[in-house]
Homo-oligomer: A and B are copies of this chain.
Amino acid sequence: MSAAKARPRNVLTTLGYALLGLLRQGPASGYALRKVFETTPMGVYSSSPGTIYPAIRRLQAKGLVHRLPASASPTGKAAFALTEAGTNALRDWLRRPIAREDVVRKAPELLLRFVFLHLVEDASITRRFLEDFRRHAASYLEELESLRGAVSDQIPRHSLLALEHGIEAFRAHRTWADHALLQTE
């Protein structure tokens, strides 16, 4: 199920930021962007034309993206490219501090941010991202574990198992963050 909030004018949907991130690596056609969502494991988002093209339109309307004529494009074909405002919007999103709630409920969006984080030069940003991610994941993990301790003999077995799924999931988050921090020395 996917989304539709009444959103303040200047904030984008996750898909919007994903498009900005992809365009940051160089101009691309809408079709090429669709292919990325279709063929890579990044494809949490729908690649259907009815999703992508309107999304690009919205970015254009906000002045974050512009059409590059075939003549001005490196590949010789028409393509979309980031404007300076688009580059800034992407950077602001990437640098946004991460809240506990984000780790708990929106981990996929954070992972998307992480992928594009290498586009932001400052390596300390990446470290801070991972440290915050680790801290929040560990904190929620503790909460779930103490919840299990408290309710384990009062709730149906299936509910307990579902809770334990959450515990495994956040343990995996923490494990990964530790691993990533080692790689980011």
- In the complex, chain B residues whose CB is within 8 Å of the CB of A150: none
Give min CB distance, A24 to chain B, whole Å.
12
Contact A175 B183 (CB under 8 A): no
A96 at the A/B interface (Cβ < 8 Å)? Answer: no
Number of residues in A with C-beta < 8 Å to the partner? 40
CB < 8 Å neighbour of A168 from B3, B15, B172: B172
- In the complex, chain B residues whose CB is within 8 Å of the CB of A161: 114, 176, 179-180, 183
Q: Contacts A1-B4, A5-B1, A44-B105 known; A179 to B157 CB distance under 8 Å? A: no
Mark contacts of A50-66 with chain B using CB atoms, 8 A cut-off: 1 yes-contact digit, 0 otherwise.
00000000000000000
Contact A118 B1 (CB under 8 A): no
6 A-B pairs with C-beta separation under 8 A: A2-B3, A41-B144, A118-B158, A157-B183, A161-B183, A169-B169
